[in-house]
Amino acid sequence: MKKTLRLVLILVLILVLFSAWRVFGPSVTAPEGKFLYVKTGETFGEVKQELVSKKIISSSRWFEWVSGPMKFTTVKAGKYEIKKGMSLFELIRMLKNGRQTPVKLVITKLRLKEDFARKLGQQFEFDSLAAIQFLTNNDSLKAFGVDSNTVIATMMPDTYSFYWNSDPKMVYQKLYDHWKKFWNEERKKKASKIQLDPIEVSTLASIVDEEVNLKSEKEKISSVYLNRLHKNMNMQACPTIKYALRDFALTRIYETDYLYFVANSDFSGTHIYTTNYADHLKFAKKFAEAQDKQESIRKANQ
């Protein structure tokens, strides 16, 4: 009798240890790409089948047994990191609590809304079409005081953190809040002194950034454009033509501008500044001739 009881106890202990290992041991396998994406509207059953089909868990039976006592029946959409050596208990707790891995949206330089929409479509649940529809919908943008032409000017370079299942409005709201925070009263006063508003400052800054190769020339080129604006002259800025043509690979555009400037013919990246149009044309011609000579040499060497 004692031997039988001892055997039963040993078997029970083995069963308990095995169950504990299946629940709390490293029984989860990280998928390719190491992330599980739960789409909005997916059911508990669908997620369970996806876990099995992607071989994150070996069987749905243990998943169901553990989910019951943990009262996990409704899944939350999101991007979840499946770590190597994770236990079934940790997996279920993560999914139940909706502990997503944040999406890091890095903005360095934006030129077109279409480029931004494409970038969002690659990093979020919504696609690029949903993104561009929001960015071009003036009814949606009206609440932010911008429209489809000015919305890009409020997107400042930085690293932003989001949830994968955020919608386009949520994403833009954070970018807009960051932009509004940047434009404090002190900065608004500085913009007012040069007779520009925040949107106009951002727009002018983008033109200067595209125009300038050397940081040391930014202030001088900015002053040229400001002088033109204050004299009600046309901007005559190459970057605006590139933007209109949607071709930022253009290297030669006929027009250039102390009211005028033109690239130096020694190709040093610097510019020559003039206060009259006659001198400007002289240096512009010199630069064009240098370009022609360079192009002839290139063709001769092909």
223-236 tens-digit pLDDT:
888 888 888 887 77
Query: What's the rounded Cα separation, in Å, for the pair 72 and 74?
Result: 6
Residues 6+ apart with CB under 8 A from 35: 79, 80, 81, 82, 101
State residue 245's pLDDT score: 53
Structure tokens at 269: 């990246």
Query: What's the rounded Cα separation, in Å, for the pair 7 and 122?
Result: 58
Mean pLDDT estimate for the chain: 85
Residue pair 253/236 in contact (Cβ under 8 Å)? The answer is no
- Predicted confidence (pLDDT) per residue in 257-289, tens digit: 457 777 777 777 777 878 777 887 888 888 778
Query: What's the rounded Cα separation, in Å, for the pair 154 and 198?
Result: 9
- What are the sequence ranges of the domains in the chain? 24-97, 103-182, 194-300
* Opening angle at CA 21, ends 15 and 26, nearest 5: 160
**CATH number of the structural domain 24-97:** 3.30.1490.480
Mean pLDDT of 44-64: 92
pTM, 2 dp: 0.73
Mean pLDDT of 22-49: 89
